[in-house]
Copies of this chain bind each other. A is one copy, B any other.
Amino acid sequence: MKPAIPANTVERLSLYRRLLEAWLEKGTTSLYSHQIASMACVTPAQVRRDLMAIGYTGSPSKGYSVDALEESIGLFLGSDRVRKIALVGMGNLGRALTTYFTSRVPRFRMAAAFDTDPRKTGRVIAGCMVYGIEEIPRIIPAEGIRTAVLALPADSAQEMADRLVNAGIKGILNYAPVPLRLPADVFLENRDVTASLEKVAFFSGQPREGS
């Protein structure tokens, strides 16, 4: 099933929502599309298109109600309620991501982590229970988790992704430095840290150190 809304639109909506939350906290009640656009570093036309895509129509003369708009985007994204996430790989990055979501983004809950290291399994790390990977087929359906984060070395990423998909995972955020082969109905977002840094370094036109 192809999603009807582009992935980039969803990413921008997520950003708008976080900007709106910050405005709400400051007591702002209404905003024009050009103000949202300015903070989000996109054009006002883009903001209006994105909001139309989720069926939201503000009052162009008085601006959008910050409160109502934040709620509408939240409802659309499903982020009005807590979502359970699984993590595979409780290394440095896995721990940093878990700590980050637990402390800063309460609408995501790292409900279960999996690791092959017996020194980590059976313990709570960064607020999240760490299970052995053989528990994936039991825990994922039992917890009703459909989204997973992979924070693993390249060599085990595909195998772990296959196990997750077999257990019912429908979306993977992949920090492993390797592409993954997944069924068409599983949403994949690759966030290869090395490729990102190599790209930025390339376009920085960086002079090179002597070898």
Q: List the interface of chain A (C-beta within 8 A of B).
A: 3, 7, 10-11, 14-15, 18, 22, 39-41, 77-85, 91-93, 95-97, 99-101, 104-105, 108-109, 144, 146-147, 149, 153-154, 169-173, 177, 179-181, 187, 189, 191-211
Contact = CB atoms under 8 A, between A and B. Distances in A.
A187 B199 CA distance: 9
Nearest to A177: B18
Max chain B C-beta neighbours (<10 A), residue from A14, A80, A204, A210: A204
A129 to B, nearest CB: 16
A44 to B, nearest CB: 15
A177 B179 CA distance: 25
A146 to B, nearest CB: 4
Nearest to A42: B179
Contact of A84 (B41, B82, B200, B209): B209
Interface of A is mostly: mixed
Given A11-B195, A78-B208, A85 B201 contact: yes
Nearest to A99: B92
Nearest to A22: B154
Given A96-B95, A177-B18, A208-B78, A199 B11 contact: yes
Nearest to A101: B197
Contacts of A3: 203
